[in-house]
């Protein structure tokens, strides 16, 4: 009985580890989006995550919500600097997410300021 219990616990831990590794390291898609950065915040009660939004339309009807991993401090700093500006972001979409990673499946990996197509000069 004791041997069965130990094998069961090890199997459950191994399965969870494989599932976590798959979700974390195997992207569903990646790409680039651009728009006006309207929000970047560090939110949560027990688990704090970085979350943000980009408006991709004139009316604000098209909102792209995203998360940023804590380890990407350079990206977080750039997002805070470019708040309210038009930006281009590179992202990775995951199959799923975990509460300690972020609220969305979209994770920003790079951000650059971009010239807005709405202003002509």
> Within a domain: residue 95?
yes
Cβ-contact 88, 31 below 8 angstroms? no
pLDDT at 48: 93
pTM here is 0.81
**Does 121 or 34 have the greater pLDDT score?**
34
> Within a domain: residue 11?
no
pLDDT at 2: 86
pLDDT at 119: 65
Q: Residue 109: give its domain's CATH number.
A: 2.40.50.140
Q: In Å, how far from its chain's centre is CA 32? A: 13
Rounded distance between C-alpha atoms, residue 100 and residue 46, angstroms: 9
pLDDT at 120: 57
Report the greatest alpha carbon distance in the chain.
77
Question: Mind listing the pLDDT tens digit for each residue in 52-101?
Answer: 999 987 666 789 999 999 999 999 999 999 998 999 999 999 998 888 88
pLDDT at 61: 73
**HEC readout, the chain:** CHHHHHHHHHHHHHHHHHHHHHHHHCEEEEEEEEEEEEEEEEECCCCCEEEEEEECCCCCCCEEEEEECCCCHHHHHHHHHCCCCEEEEEEEEECCCCCCCCCCCEEEEEEEECCCCCCCC
pLDDT at 101: 87
> Within a domain: residue 5?
no
> Within a domain: residue 14?
no
> Within a domain: residue 7?
no
> Within a domain: residue 19?
no
What's the structural domain count of the chain? 1
Comparing CA positions, the residue from 94, 34, 29, 97 lying closest to residue 62 is: 34
Question: Mind listing the pLDDT tens digit for each residue in 14-64?
Answer: 999 999 899 888 899 999 999 999 999 999 888 999 999 999 876 667 899
Range of the domain at 36: 28-113
pLDDT exceeds cutoff 60 at 121: no
The tokens of 52 are what?
């943000």
> Within a domain: residue 15?
no
């Amino acid at each position: 009985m004791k041997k069965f219990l130990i094998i069961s616990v090890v199997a459950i831990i191994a399965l969870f580890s494989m599932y976590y590794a798959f979700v974390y390291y195997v992207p569903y898609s990646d790409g680039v989006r651009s728009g006006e950065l309207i929000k970047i915040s560090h939110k949560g009660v027990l688990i704090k995550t970085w979350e943000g939004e980009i408006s991709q339309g004139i009316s604000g009807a098209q909102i792209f919500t995203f998360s940023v991993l804590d380890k990407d401090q350079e990206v977080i700093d750039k997002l805070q600097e470019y708040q309210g500006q038009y930006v281009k972001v590179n992202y990775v979409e995951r199959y799923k997410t975990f509460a300690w990673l972020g609220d969305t499946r979209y994770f920003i990996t790079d951000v650059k300021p971009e010239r807005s197509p709405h202003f002509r000069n």
